[in-house]
């Protein structure tokens, strides 16, 4: 997330808003009563609509196991080989990250730069598609997945995939898709919308983002596109899910921690309704049965990222009955023996002692 310019712009807007409210209070205090009414009218007139229940049901009926960036412990993340491996391992959905090149080509890449995953350096925004053709996304990859589930002994060289090539492959192989969008560039949003129309992806794919304005922009452009809001606690104030590495320091860090508190409260109550989101994509550390039940009452679907523990995977799939994203899609078949364990040796969460 380069620069956080959008977040900083939001802080400036917040400052201006507070100043305006203060001015209203000083000039005409009863005018403050108009603020809630204005917000209510604005929200209802500008909110997005949720997708048709038919498309939502069709999509989620075919989504139980998602390969997080493919099968990133078996093949390079966001690679065609990784997607094929995820499909072979039992995944019915592939999740991938999209970005724009210097010449406006939509490609797959998680990071803002090429340093971690390829043999090239620098921001992907500074490279053309032709330059990326010389880039090898397997250059730094080391296979760490357990077992001998990979059919290939070695990892072949592979270029950065085009977004449309991945979409074609997924449609041909009857595989659901989850687009993870970290770039709010209108050109990227428009390219995604065009692919939905061109390949009729309305019940085959969903677009998710941490950034509410991206979800809003996607849905506003085409109300039929399934969208999801990705979240974790303290996303705006900490780089990592363990909340160890703060993004800022001093008063600015404190401000963003307060923004996180407000963001999470709104996310569970209001934000998905306004965005027209169909899914709350939740970090595995923040999932609970109470959250799932509350969101279902609100008409929201819940899915979880990233689930790499076999017992946790089984609990979410079988007890909570929610889809998951995992780095190890092959574990879903290995977890089958937990079925008998569940029946014999422990009490499911949805049963109480009064049921016995």
* Mean pLDDT, residues 115-139 taken together: 95
Q: What are phi and psi of 99, to 5 degrees?
A: -150, 165
Calpha distance 257→261 (Å, rounded): 7
pLDDT in the model for residue 77? 97
- Is pLDDT above 80 for 261? yes
Of the listed ranges 102-106, 118-122, 334-338, the least confidently predicted one is 334-338
Q: Please, what is the average pLDDT of the chain?
A: 87
Mean pLDDT over 225-252 rounds to 95
What pLDDT is attached to residue 215?
Answer: 95
| pLDDT tens, residue by residue, 183-201 | 878 899 999 999 999 999 9
pLDDT band at 53 (very low <50, low <70, confident <90, very high): very high
Q: Compute the average pLDDT of residues 152-167.
A: 88
Cβ of 5: how many Cβ atoms within 10 Å?
Answer: 10
Q: H or E stretch including 179?
A: strand 176-181
54-341 is a CATH 3.20.20.190 domain: yes
3-state secondary structure of 123: strand
The pLDDT value given to residue 44: 78
248-260: pLDDT as tens digits: 999 999 999 999 9
d(CA 127, CA 138): 18
Task: Compare 152 and 324 and report the one with higher pLDDT.
Answer: 324
Mean of the pLDDT values across residues 85-109?
95
pLDDT bucket at 356, cuts 50 / 70 / 90 = very low
pLDDT band with cut points at 50, 70 and 90 for residue 156: confident
- Nearest CA among 234, 243, 189 for reference residue 213: 189
Cα 145 to Cα 327: distance, rounded to the nearest angstrom: 9
Percent of the chain surpassing pLDDT 90: 71
Taking only the tens place, the pLDDT of each residue in 339-353 is: 666 666 555 555 544
pLDDT-derived band at 13 (thresholds 50, 70, 90) equals low
- In degrees, to the nearest 5, what angle opens at C-alpha 262 toward C-alphas 180 and 33? 125
- pLDDT tens for 286-335 read 999 999 999 999 999 999 999 999 889 989 998 899 999 999 998 877 76
**Does 45 have pLDDT greater than 70?**
yes
Instruction: Output the pTM of the full model.
Output: 0.87
What confidence category does residue 7 fall into, taking pLDDT thresholds of 50, 70 and 90? Answer: low
pLDDT at 112: 93
């Amino acid at each position: 997330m380069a620069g956080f310019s959008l977040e900083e712009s939001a802080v400036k807007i917040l400052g201006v808003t507070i100043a305006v409210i203060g001015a209203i209070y000083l000039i005409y205090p009863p005018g403050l009563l108009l603020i809630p009414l204005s917000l209510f009218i604005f929200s209802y007139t500008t909110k997005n609509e949720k997708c048709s229940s038919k498309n939502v049901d069709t999509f989620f009926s075919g989504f139980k196991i998602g390969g997080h960036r493919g099968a990133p412990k078996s093949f390079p993340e966001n690679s065609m080989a990784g997607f094929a491996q995820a499909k072979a391992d039992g995944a019915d959905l592939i999740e991938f990250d999209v970005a724009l090149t210097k010449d406006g080509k939509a490609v797959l890449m998680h990071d803002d730069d090429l340093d971690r995953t390829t043999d090239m350096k620098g921001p992907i925004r500074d490279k053309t598609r032709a330059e990326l053709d010389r880039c090898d996304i397997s250059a730094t990859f080391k296979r760490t997945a357990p077992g001998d589930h990979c059919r290939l002994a070695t990892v072949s060289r592979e270029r950065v995939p085009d977004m449309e090539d991945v979409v074609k492959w997924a449609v041909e192989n009857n595989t659901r898709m989850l687009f993870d969008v970290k770039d709010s560039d209108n050109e990227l949003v428009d390219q995604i919308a065009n692919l939905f129309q061109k390949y009729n992806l309305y019940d085959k794919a969903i677009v998710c983002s941490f950034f509410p304005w991206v979800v809003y922009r996607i849905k506003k452009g085409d109300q039929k596109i399934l969208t999801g809001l990705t979240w974790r606690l303290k996303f705006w104030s900490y780089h990592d899910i363990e909340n160890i590495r703060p993004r800022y320091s001093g008063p600015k860090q404190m401000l963003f921690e307060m923004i996180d508190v407000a963001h999470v409260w709104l996310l569970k109550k209001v934000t998905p309704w306004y965005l027209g989101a169909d899914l709350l994509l939740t970090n595995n550390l923040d999932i609970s049965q109470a959250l799932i039940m509350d969101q279902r009452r609100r008409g929201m679907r819940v899915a979880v990222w990233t689930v790499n523990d076999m017992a946790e995977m089984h609990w979410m799939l079988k007890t909570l009955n929610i889809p998951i994203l995992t780095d190890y899609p092959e574990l879903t078949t290995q977890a089958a023996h937990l079925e008998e364990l569940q029946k014999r040796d422990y009490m499911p969460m949805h049963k109480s002692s009064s049921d016995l």
